Amino acid sequence: MTSPFLAGLAVAATALAGRYGIQAWQSFKARPATPIMRKFYDGGFQPTMTKREAALILGVREHATPDKVKEAHKKVMVANHPDAGGSHYLASKINEAKDVMLGKTKGSGSAF
C-alpha cells in the first residue's frame, strides 16, 4: 500500500523539479548578454604616472610582458586615437602608460 504512494510521490517530485529546471534554464537564456570587452580605466590621472596607473589605463597587470603591453596599447589607442575622434590628451596619457610599463620613462608626466 505504501509502495504505490511513494512511487507517485517520486514521480510528482521529479515532475516538479523538471518544471523548475526548465524555468531556470529559460530565465538564464533570457538574461542580457554581458559584454566580452572589459571596461577601460575611467581616468582621474595622477600628476606623475605610476606603474599601477599605467596598468589600469592599458587594462593589463602591473607585471605584464612587453608583448601584452604593446597589444593592449594598440587596442586602447585605436579606440581613443585623435584621428578617430579621440582626444590628444588621452592619446598622450595612453602613450605615457605604455612607456611607463615598458620602462622607457619614469612617468614624468605628459606634454599637457
Query: pLDDT tens digits, residue range 27-80?
Result: 888 887 666 655 656 667 778 888 988 998 898 998 899 999 999 999 999 888
Assess whether 40 and 65 both reside in one domain.
yes
Print the domain residue range for 99. Answer: 35-112
Task: Report which residue type is found at 31.
Answer: R
Burial of 60-79, coded b for 16+ CB within 10 Å and e otherwise, reads: beeebeeeebeebbeebbee
Q: Angle CA(91)–CA(104)–CA(97) in degrees, nearest 5?
A: 30
Give yes or no: residues 61 and 89 share one domain: yes
Give the global pTM.
0.57
Residues 91 and 108 occupy one common structural domain? yes
